[in-house]
Structure 1
């Protein structure tokens, strides 16, 4: 007897539910203990899976699991970025484009509620070379992020490309590490947590706008 459409749909829902439980458990463990300190077996157990090979079955390698976590957060951030990109399209103000870099990240973190853990994982992604390479592959096709970066660079015609690219790296490092710090002390009250992310965004936009406008002492 063949599998009915209803049975197939039910099976698909169960698989997606299991994958989500694994992703959530992995994100928590990776954020709290470090990606390289947590085994796939520990993730499977934390996700309530009787089969300790559940991560391998549903994702493959740990790298594939990390990519799935990145994708889960990258997609809503790219949507927020698209909205800001449309709002500021054609602007020649540096601050507008710095806002398009910072605010999708802080707004997304705010949407996760409290506690949230992605910022602490993201700080590892930008620090550890292997993880940074994984993240770069996932963000390589982020068309709205690329458009925002190009518009930001257009506001800096006098900044040498090597210096500009270095400051891009400085800006993203500042964003991820400051947000990771804020996340660790995030209040449980939703309104208070939202206020933390709002204030963090303003502070980052101020600092990064100044970073890009600072004089360059080398070519």
Structure 2
């Protein structure tokens, strides 16, 4: 083997840079998976970067900081990992219903983009429980919500829901957006846990979970409004 070959590449002909890139990518993926599971099980605040590194099989306890930065950056990276495929599903669903004036159509896009994603991941999954933990943590709730609202398709859904309920006061729209978000994420988290642990649940598939959620969220949005003095 020539000196140039030793410097430029490996004995198998693959460039050293390519091997290093693949190794770094695999390490990042291992860290993301470990962090998502630990955050889902214990909460974001309770888990340290060192614990994540150990769970990811990294001997260097600073691996999380090296590859992602702060814990906030790690939370955002997990959210982004899932947001891309969910956004793809949501964009397709929104395009299919067009300018629908049926509230159930818009709620269906919101719910099924998440449940179909979870279904595609297989069992067990951790994302719904991770998202529920992040939403319940004051340090990360605003970050997760703000990043999610950057989705053009999600904004179309919010606008579509609002158009279907033109007489609903904006204060109530804001309030029910919060209610619907929490109902969606925490219900999915509960079913995700039941599916993963094999415990009894009133529904046995993500498509069935979606149907129940759509019914409930439509009912939430169309509930009467009682004004108190």
TM-score by length of 1: 0.93
The separation in 2 between residues aligned to 1:36 and 1:170, in whole angstroms, is 24
Does the aligned pair in 2 maintain the 1:95–1:205 contact within 8 Å? yes
Question: Is the CA contact 2:126–2:192 (under 8 Å) kept in the aligned structure 1?
Answer: yes
Task: State the partner residue of 1:15.
Answer: 24
Q: Name the CA distance, whole Å, in 2 between partners of 1:126 and 1:3.
A: 48
Gaps of 5+ in 2: none
> 1: CA distance between counterparts of 2:51 and 2:132?
22
**Structure 2 Cα separation of the partners of residues 45 and 187 of structure 1:** 23
Q: 2: distance between equivalents of 1:42 and 1:110?
A: 28
Q: CA deviation at 1:3?
A: 5.3
Provide the aligned length of Structure 1 versus Structure 2: 216
1:15-34 superposed matches below 5 A: 15-34=24-43
**Structure 1 CA distance for aligned equivalents of residues 102 and 132 of structure 2:** 28
Shift of 1:90: 1.0
- Residue 217 (structure 1) shift: 1.0
Aligned counterparts of 1:3 and 1:16: Cα–Cα separation in 2:
21
Is 1:116 aligned to 2:125, yes or no?
yes
State yes or no: 1:157 paired with 2:163. no
Of 83, 86, 92, 1:83 maps to: 92
Runs of 4+ in 1 over 3 A off after TM superposition: 1-5
Deviations 1:79-116 (A, max 9, x none): 00001001001111000001011111111111111111
Superposition pairs for residues 1-219 of structure 1, below 5 Å?
A: 6-186=15-195, 195-218=204-227
- In 2: Cα distance, 1:67 partner to 1:187 partner: 24
Per mean C-alpha deviation after superposition, the further-off stretch among 96-105 and 5-14 is: 5-14
Tell me which structure has the larger Cα radius of gyration. 2
Please give the secondary structure, in 1, of the residue aligned with 2:205: helix
CA distance in 1, matches of 2:126, 2:197: 13
What secondary structure, in the 3-state scheme, does the structure 2 residue paired with 1:185 have?
helix
Aligned counterparts of 2:217 and 2:227: Cα–Cα separation in 1: 19
- RMSD across aligned C-alpha pairs, in angstroms? 2.0
